[in-house]
């Protein structure tokens, strides 16, 4: 017996498909250090292809070294590396992705601004400088303006990288090199320094047990989206330190087997892709705890599968991938389907599709996409909202 569906039902289904809410617009922004600007792209959520936004690139002062998107998707910030520069702030047009300077931009900051990171709450921004400082700024909710609050006095070294835990409760730092007395020794073991972040003031307090031992010349940091595991790339010792994170205290404990070999070249940048599935559990089982991607000095991207229970790393079959472009920054997109790499010497952005079960990378059609001179950082706006509030 055949089942006959009333025509009115078919009509209603067609209307619902026709008028269903479109996917939120996704935009990728790239800091071009040598060009003093920021490139902007619309991200095709289905193919991963990039289309340059009208008006891009957008002017930035002081050779931008880092770029960050506010959690609301409304604002973009880019640090200026040179002493005369501050922090560039932009408003994102939710429909087009175009950037316009915020009132008061560039915002005052210390000279030699390196990394900017924004609290998940969207209330505070941390900015590292070459002057052994971490500057804490409040972010005005409606305007996106930055207001300097204080300089952290607890950071004893020149900060190489700064990462905020997904909970917003903890901050982790790496330094340019280890200090022996007041002398910088690039061959000595480094550490990862952990701090508790005050919810009301964002002030930093050292965590119990910090600093945590790492390898030599520790630089890049990455954490899984659930905040269970943290990874640190050691450029000098050519390996990756891995830790479990106590999500109550923020304390780090080395994972069995750590450090994990990164081959014969230095790990430069890292990004984590969370496991994706159909809701039936099979893909999540295959993907384990997701995948860690590492760009290296050999201009290739290496992939590791993360053990869901232990956080241990195993190499992905077919790794490494790449097109011979040195990438100082890599990032996984909002959906977890694509990986983007800033190609430093080529002045472009390489795009890869992430196979959901194995983590293998395949190049997106049209990749690499043109960027500006010496791109060094990238960040994505995940579904920017209209700016009515």
Q: Is the pLDDT of residue 138 over 80?
A: yes
Mean pLDDT of 41-64: 94
Q: What pLDDT does residue 15 have?
A: 37
β-strand partners of 139: 146
CB contact set of 364 (below 8 Å; sequence gap of 6+): 47, 48, 49, 338, 351, 352, 353
Question: Which residue reads 């994990």 in tokens?
Answer: 260
Smallest Cα–Cα separation from 72: which of 123, 38, 21? 123
Question: Where are the alpha helices (H) located in the chain, listed in sequence order?
Answer: 7-18, 282-287
Cis peptide before 320 (omega within 30 of 0): yes
Burial (CB count <10 Å: 0-12, 13-18, 19+), residue 138: middle
| The pLDDT value given to residue 12 | 40
The percentage of the chain sitting over the pLDDT mark of 70, rounded to a whole number, equals 82
pTM for this prediction: 0.88
Average pLDDT, the chain: 85
Q: What is the pLDDT of residue 182?
A: 54
> What pLDDT, on a 0 to 100 scale, did the predictor assign at position 219?
86
pLDDT in tens, 55-69: 999 999 888 989 999
Q: Which domains does the chain have, with CATH numbers?
A: 23-382 (2.130.10.10)
Q: If you average pLDDT over residues 364-369, what whole number do you get? A: 96
User: CA–CA separation, 137 vs 322, rounded Å?
Assistant: 37
pLDDT tens string 179-213: 555 566 656 568 899 999 999 999 999 998 999 99
Band (286; pLDDT cuts 50, 70, 90):
low
Higher pLDDT, 85 or 236: 236
295 exposure class (CB count in 10 Å sphere: 0-12, 13-18, 19+): buried
Distant-in-sequence, close-in-space partners of 134: CB < 8 Å, separation ≥ 6: 126, 127, 128, 151, 152, 155, 159, 162, 173, 204
Over residues 331-343, mean pLDDT: 94
Residues 110-133: tens digit of each pLDDT: 767 788 999 999 999 999 877 677
With 60 as the cut, is the pLDDT of residue 388 above it?
A: no
């Amino acid at each position: 017996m055949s089942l006959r569906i009333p025509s009115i039902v078919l009509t209603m289904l067609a209307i619902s498909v026709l008028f269903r809410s479109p996917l939120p617009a996704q935009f990728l922004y790239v800091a071009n250090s040598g060009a003093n600007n920021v490139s902007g792209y619309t991200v095709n959520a289905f193919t991963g292809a990039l289309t340059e936004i009208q008006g891009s690139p957008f002017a930035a002062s002081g050779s931008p070294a880092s770029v960050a998107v506010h959690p609301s998707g409304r604002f973009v910030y880019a640090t200026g590396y040179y002493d005369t520069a501050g922090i560039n702030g932009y408003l994102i047009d939710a429909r087009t992705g175009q950037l316009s300077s915020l009132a008061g931009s560039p915002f005052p900051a210390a000279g030699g601004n390196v990394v900017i990171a924004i609290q998940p709450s969207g209330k505070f921004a941390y900015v590292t400088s070459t002057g052994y400082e971490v500057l804490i700024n409040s972010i005005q909710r409606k305007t996106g303006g930055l207001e300097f609050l204080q300089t952290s006095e607890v950071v004893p070294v020149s900060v190489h990288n700064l990462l905020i835990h997904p909970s917003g409760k903890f901050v982790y730092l790496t330094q340019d090199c280890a200090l022996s007395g007041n002398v910088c020794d690039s061959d000595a073991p480094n550490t990862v320094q952990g701090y508790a972040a005050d919810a009301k003031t964002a002030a930093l307090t050292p965590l119990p047990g910090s600093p945590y031992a790492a390898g030599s010349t520790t630089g890049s940091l990455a954490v899984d989206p659930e905040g269970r595991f943290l990874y640190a790339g050691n450029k000098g010792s050519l390996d990756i330190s891995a830790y479990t994170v106590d999500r109550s205290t923020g304390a780090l404990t080395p994972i069995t087997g750590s450090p994990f070999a990164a081959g014969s070249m230095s790990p430069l940048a890292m990004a984590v892709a969370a496991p994706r599935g159909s809701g039936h559990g099979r893909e999540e089982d295959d993907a384990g705890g997701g995948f860690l991607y590492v760009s290296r000095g050999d201009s290739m991207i290496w992939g590791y599968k993360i053990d869901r229970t232990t956080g241990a790393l195993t190499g992905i079959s077919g790794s490494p991938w790449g097109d011979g472009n040195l990438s100082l920054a890599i990032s996984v997109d909002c959906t977890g389907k694509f990986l983007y790499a800033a190609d430093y010497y080529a002045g472009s952005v390489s795009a890869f599709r992430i196979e959901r079960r194995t983590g293998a990378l395949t190049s997106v059609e049209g990749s690499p996409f043109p960027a500006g001179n010496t791109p060094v950082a990238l960040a994505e706006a995940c579904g920017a909202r209209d700016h009515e509030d």
